[in-house]
Amino acid sequence: MIVAYYGISYVTVKIYIFSLKERTKLCRLLEVVSSPAKFENIPIRRHEEVRCRCRYDRLPIKLEASAHFKTFLLLQIHFSRIALPPDLVTDHEVI
């Protein structure tokens, strides 16, 4: 039911089940939640690069180079309750 309701694959649910534990730290939680293949296609557009980098520099948790960088960034911004510029809101809603 979770798979159908949220529109995620059963593989993603299995990854979450096996990767997330009671004592999982926030950094690991963000890595796991931002890792599904469906998030690989969220592009960083040219005009967003500077805005993303500026916000990333203000966030406490850093991520090594990853195809899921923007997803990781948007999730961390969401949990930190930082306001998003209008051009990032659409991608935030997708995630």
Q: Is the pLDDT of residue 32 over 80?
A: yes
- pTM (2 decimals)? 0.75
- The arithmetic mean of pLDDT across residues 32-36, rounded, is 87
Instruction: Assign 3-class secondary structure to 50-89.
Output: HHHHHHHHHCCCCCCCCCCHHHHHHHHHHHHCCCCCHHHH
Radius of gyration (C-alpha) of the chain in whole angstroms? 14
Q: Residue 53 maps to which CATH number?
A: 1.10.3380.10
Q: Is the pLDDT of residue 67 over 80?
A: no
**Do the beta carbons of residue 92 and residue 71 sit within 8 Å?**
no
- The arithmetic mean of pLDDT across residues 77-83, rounded, is 86
Q: Which domain holds residue 11?
A: 2-94
Number of domains in the chain: 1
Q: What is the pLDDT of residue 1?
A: 66
The mean pLDDT of the chain is 83
